[in-house]
Structure 1
Amino acid sequence: MTRSVPEARRGARSVLAEWRIPTDAAEAIELIVSELSTNAVRHARVPDRFFEVALTYDGEKAVEIEVSDASPRLPEPQVTPLEAESGRGLPLVAALAESWELRARVIGKTVWARVRTQ
């Protein structure tokens, strides 16, 4: 379980370094972890529940990212005005990831993304 966005980002950075993920892919993955974790903290916080971050590397071509929280509310990508200070998280994930999706769970949801490493 993760308590904060900085904790999630540090954990991701550490694992990606261990896996020796190329810099461009690692930066994209860290940004996705940060954006999805921020969404979990800002929009889906449930008292006494934290959010979970999981990274999976296939050893060759891609890293999969999962950020799960206890809120059943599914995020909806929106068109964000240029002057807005927030609201760009999911469009940014869509731009950086090879693919992404929302997955409902028995308790809460998971946002999943896949980033190519080659």
Structure 2
Amino acid sequence: MAVQLNTPVREACEHVCSVPPVAGAVPAARRQVGRILADWEVCADIVDDALLVVSELLTNAIVHALPPALLRLSWVREGGLGTLRVEVTDAGPALAAGHCPSGIDPDEHGRGVEIVHALATRHGIRVRPGGITRWADLVALGATP
């Protein structure tokens, strides 16, 4: 008698794009990400949070870091869970710690990291020579392939 094991189906998608440090780049990237997440059939319960995380991480990279900003999205569905990872890599800080770019009111900025931490299941930073990657995972229960 043959025994059939139910192995979870694993599906993975990935998208990588460079985001230029120009006016309108973040909203354009956000629209593009929305289309990608729809194409991937990412669970609706995390799409809005994902778009906000993308906006915050990209804005941070464009305002506070050296270009280029590289956005990487990955969506993995396995065993009833869906995990969307948002990563933004930049070339490191544009200014020394504690300094704000000219024309930026520090009272109106600085909450992006807190927003990402509040929305993400997991988050972190990877530092390597020549670049920093900030990442956030958003997990959806009941994600079926």
Structure 1 and Structure 2 fold alike (TM over 0.5): yes
TM-score normalized by the length of structure 2: 0.67
Distance in 2 (alpha carbons) for counterparts of 1:68 and 1:15? 19
Q: Which protein is bigger by CA-based radius of gyration?
A: 2
1:86 Cα deviation (Å)? 1.5
Aligned-partner SS, 2:19: coil
Report the counterpart of residue 66 of structure 1 in structure 2. Answer: 87
Q: Structure 2 stretches of 5 or more lacking a match?
A: 1-17, 98-106
1:22 Cα deviation (Å)? 2.3
1:52 aligns with 2:34: no
Greater share of residues in strand = 2
Superposition pairs for residues 4-83 of structure 1, below 5 Å? 4-44=25-65, 46=66, 49-60=67-78, 61-71=82-92
Aligned-partner SS, 2:108: coil
Whether the 8 Å CA contact 1:94–1:100 is kept in 2: the answer is yes
TM-score normalized by the length of structure 1: 0.82
| RMSD across aligned positions (CA) | 1.7
Greater share of residues in helix = 1
Whether the 8 Å CA contact 1:56–1:63 is kept in 2: the answer is yes
After the TM superposition, list the runs of 4 or more consecutive aligned residues in structure 1 that deviate by more than 4 angstroms: none
1:110 aligns with 2:129: no
Q: Structure 1 stretches of 5 or more lacking a match?
A: 77-83
Identity of aligned residues (%): 38
Aligned length: 106
1:23 Cα deviation (Å)? 2.2
Distance in 2 (alpha carbons) for counterparts of 1:6 and 1:52? 15
